[in-house]
């Protein structure tokens, strides 16, 4: 094969990689790992993919640290997700552990607890009329699915039920299993 043919193929592969990346980035921000996976699935040669991804990172079109910070901000405030779930989501997207830690560190424990309280306050009215232990179990479960630690979930639910009055406070919160394992749920698919 002549050098001009090889150069033409390389340029064609890089053009295809640029097109794929720009289409994906137009829809939503992506991590470098997500783009690399898409290029691999589309059969773009690794050398061409790396050249394009490197250039996009150099000019700031791909920035995993900024992606992680925005992800944490959006998913915590929008869906009420806790640190543990957010960390798992970022890792699944290929964000480096250091960038995950930095992004999660911006979410302080008081802010996380305040979000848990807001979530419970929003769900509490829908549980009225149910037996207090059922209400407590459902509320703690809702927080657990969002990644809140058992101690936080138990405390926030207990406080909310006590504020409602003596009938709600009669929930046997000690009967709730607070030694549960917090599941990491893929919040995008269910």
- CATH number of the domain within which 21 lies: 1.10.10
Do 11 and 54 fall into the same domain?
yes
**Looking at the predicted structure, is the pLDDT value of residue 71 above 60?**
yes
Domain count within the chain: 3
SS3 4: helix
Verify that 69 and 89 share a domain, yes or no: yes
Residue span of the structural domain in which 46 resides: 7-62
> Do 78 and 33 share a domain, yes or no?
no
pTM of the complete model: 0.78
Distance CA 36, CA 176 (A): 45
For residue 109, CA distances in Å to 11, 29, 187 come to 50, 27, 21
Q: Do 44 and 76 sit in the same domain of this protein?
A: no
Q: At what angle do helices 46-58 and 32-41 cross, to 10 degrees?
A: 150
User: In sequence order, what are the residues at sequence separation of 6 or more whose Cβ sits closer than 8 angstroms to the Cβ of residue 184?
Assistant: 84, 85, 88, 147
- Decide which of 177 and 144 is more confident: 144
pLDDT at 182 over 50: no
According to the model, what pLDDT value does residue 3 have? Answer: 67
In the predicted model, what is the mean pLDDT of the chain?
87
Q: Which of 6-20, 23-37, 86-100, 145-159 has the lowest mean pLDDT?
A: 6-20
């Amino acid at each position: 094969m002549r050098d001009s043919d090889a150069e033409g193929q390389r340029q064609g592969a890089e053009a295809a990689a640029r097109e794929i990346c720009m289409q994906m980035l137009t829809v939503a921000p992506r991590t470098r790992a997500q783009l690399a996976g898409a290029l691999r699935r589309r059969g773009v040669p690794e050398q061409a993919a790396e050249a394009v991804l490197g250039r996009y990172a150099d000019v700031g079109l791909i920035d995993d640290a900024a992606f992680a910070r925005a992800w944490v901000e959006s998913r915590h405030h929008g869906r009420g997700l806790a640190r543990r779930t957010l960390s798992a989501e970022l890792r699944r997207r290929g964000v480096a552990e250091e960038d995950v830690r930095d992004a999660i560190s911006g979410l302080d424990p008081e802010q996380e607890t305040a979000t848990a309280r807001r979530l419970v306050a929003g769900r509490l009215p829908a549980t009225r009329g149910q037996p207090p232990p059922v209400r407590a179990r459902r509320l703690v479960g809702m927080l657990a699915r969002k990644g809140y630690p058992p101690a936080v979930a138990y405390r926030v639910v207990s406080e909310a039920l006590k504020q409602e009055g003596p009938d709600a406070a009669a929930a046997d919160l000690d009967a709730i299993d607070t030694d549960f394992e917090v599941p990491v749920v893929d919040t995008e698919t269910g």
